[in-house]
Chains A and B, each alone.
Chain A
Amino acid sequence: MTRPYDIATRHRAAGRIARAPDGAMAAGQADLTGTAPLLRVEGLTKRYGTRIGCADVGFDLWPGEVMGIVGESGSGKSTLLNCLAGHLPPDSGQVLFDTRTGGLKDTVTMSEPERRMLGRTDWAFVHQHARDGLRMNVSAGGNVGERLMAVGARHYGTIREAAIDWLGRVEIGADRVDDRPTAFSGGMQQRLQIARNLVTGPRLVFMDEPTGGLDVSVQARLLDLLRGLVREMGLSAIIVTHDLAVVRLLADRLMVMKDGHVVESGLTDQVLDDPQHAYTQLLVSSVLQV
């Protein structure tokens, strides 16, 4: 059996330590001393009939913090992410999000319009396959502009400017603004998906295997870009992946899942360098060395 973690205490320390050497993160650090977490998850459980999707997951995520969730296929990490993002209704538990107006609010019990509103303003969801997150028959500019129009932007010139600005930030040339994503490479599609998600300035980004299916050099550039954006915008993020290198690079904190349960969590470097749980040890030692 796993020793239960006092996650709340542990990660708070983790956040401070992780930020301390990084001078550029002064703002994020100030947030960490704030009173409320951005996201508080308590006892989240999702079953598929008698099978467990994920069971009794709980953690706090603080503003500016990036958390990684790792585990093998079928460990429940995607189920967990979908429950957090409101795509799946959990069977029990709470997902409390620090809304701009009402403070901490349970997104599981909040009304659907409210939750969908969060989904296109304060939240962003980056799918593993860009095709799931993009409209493939709409131009790049339209894809980026959609969220703006969804929150009421009705000035073509302004929308287009914002779209071109965001394409630039994810290293897509302004001359590609009217091309459809079908004409883009896999890496570009993924970057377009990120631009489309970040254009409304979300505070929390959910990412499901953002680098899956990309070759390593494209992966590296994407990770670099993501790291820059997360730092620059002070984003909080939850990244689901099975790639330990990705979490090493991006995540401050790490949760390891196995069979629907969280078996270990803590500082990324700590967990990866000194894994305690047998499964984590297996996971870490299974990484191929180049």
Chain B
Amino acid sequence: MTDQAYNFAYLDEQTKRMIRRAILKGVAIPGYQVPFASREMPMPYGWGTGGVQVSAATLTPEDTFKVIDQGADDTTNAVSIRKFFERTAGVATTEETARATVIQTRHRIPEEPLTEEQVLVYQVPIPEPLRFLEPSEIETRKMHALEEYGLMHVKLYEDIARHGQIATSYAYPVKVEGRYVMDPSPIPKFDNPKMSDNPAIQLFGAGREQRIYALPPYTQVVSLDFEDHPFDPSKADAPCDLCGAEDSYLDEVIIDDAGGRMFVCSDTDYCRARRASGHVGAKGVAEDAA
């Protein structure tokens, strides 16, 4: 049921128009951070205000909407944002990746390959990949404009010097179409290769920082690395204990006070679909019985 007190998808039409302009500019210049007049949303900063605004400007009444938070459809953040748009836009919602046309995500890319029909909206806390190295916004914008990205490698150098390998495991910096260095939002680096050459449109919204950026379909996205320390999209070296998947990104879950633990797919929809089609992991049966 749509709440009639609100305009479609909560934001007024002029605001959506402003956001769409920013999105179009972002799509035209892949990886470039477009400033936009971010609005106050009825949720705190850090809970996806940027992603919500991008979704609001992207949704049409015919869309089917899906929200994931760290891959899961059933966590607080995902549930509340899904409910928010059910109420203010009245759009159909789903948990199935394949059925969704707009997917808002916090910190994951779905395991199931996306299609040209889909839009993936990322929630971004800090859009500036150089931020922790260079605190001045004026300076970082200049560095982007002049393509001075040596500093980004200083961070990777520090990783190797201290840990023997590139220890950055999420928000791993990427270079887009050989031009802009971009923060992929805090997705695990395991997901980085999925960004490249992806048929779906990928939109990034940072509400507090008031930036939108985008990757049009089939954009080349390269993770930064050193010649002698190449990029390694790592994940936990185990199969999913519920569905037995060996190719999906895993969460490690502590299950008792004795240090017992299990690995499960972080993408809940992927895991459910696999179990529904008969795949069973090492602890899968017991878990289902409980």
- A residues neighboring B (CB under 8 Å): 112-113, 116, 120, 135, 138-139, 141-142, 145-147, 149-152, 154-157, 159-160, 177-178
Within 8 A of A (CB), among B130-188: 133, 142, 146, 148, 150-151, 153-154, 157-158, 160-162
Residues in B whose Cβ lies below 8 Å from that of A141: 157, 161
Contact status A156-B229, CB under 8 Å: yes
Q: A154-B227, A155-B226 are in contact. Are A142 and B157 (CB under 8 A)?
A: yes
* Supplied contacts A139-B158, A139-B161, 5 more A-B pairs, CB within 8 Å: A138-B133, A149-B154, A150-B150, A154-B153, A156-B229
Q: How far is the CB of A202 from chain B (nearest CB, A)?
A: 16
B228 within 8 A of A: yes
- Check B146 against A149 for contact (C-beta < 8 Å): no
**CB within 8 Å of A: which residues of B?**
133, 142, 146, 148, 150-151, 153-154, 157-158, 160-162, 226-229
Q: In the complex, how many angstroms separate the beta carbon of B224 from the nearest chain A beta carbon?
A: 9
Measured CB to CB, the closest approach of chain B to A162, in angstroms, equals 12
B contact residues around A149 at 8 Å (CB): 150-151, 153-154, 157
Chain B's interface: helix, strand, loop or mixed, by majority? Answer: helix
Q: Is the CB of A178 within 8 A of B150?
A: no
User: Is there contact, CB below 8 Å, between A145 and B154?
Assistant: yes
| Contact assessment for B146 and A156 in the assembled complex, using a CB-CB cutoff below 8 Å | no
For A151, list chain B residues within 8 Å (CB): 150
Chain B residues within 8 Å of A152, by CB: 150
In the complex, A92→B237 CA distance in Å? 64
A138 touches B150 (CB 8 A): no
Most B CB within 10 A of own CB, among A112, A142, A147, A159:
A142
**Complex Cα gap A145–B157 (Å):** 9
Task: Name A178's contact: one of B153, B161, B227 (CB within 8 Å).
Answer: B161
Q: Which residues of B contact A138 (CB under 8 A)?
A: 133, 154, 158
CA distance A160 to B159 in the complex (A): 13
Choose from A116, A139, A146, A155 the contact partner of B146 (Cβ within 8 Å). Answer: A116
Residues of A within 8 A of B162 (CB): 139, 178
- Contact A156–B154 (Cβ < 8 Å): no
For residue B229, which residues in chain A have a CB less than 8 angstroms away from its CB? 156
- Nearest CB in chain A: distance from B164 CB, A: 11
- CB-nearest residue of chain B relative to A112? B146
Q: Which residues of B contact A120 (CB under 8 A)?
A: 150
Q: Measured between alpha carbons, how far is A178 from B160 in the docked complex, in Å? A: 10
Measured CA separation A126–B118 after assembly (Å): 53
Cα distance, A157 to B148, chains bound together (Å):
22
Residue in A112, A150, A157, A159 whose beta carbon sits within 8 Å of that of B151 in the complex: A150
| Closest chain B residue, CB of each to CB of A147 | B150
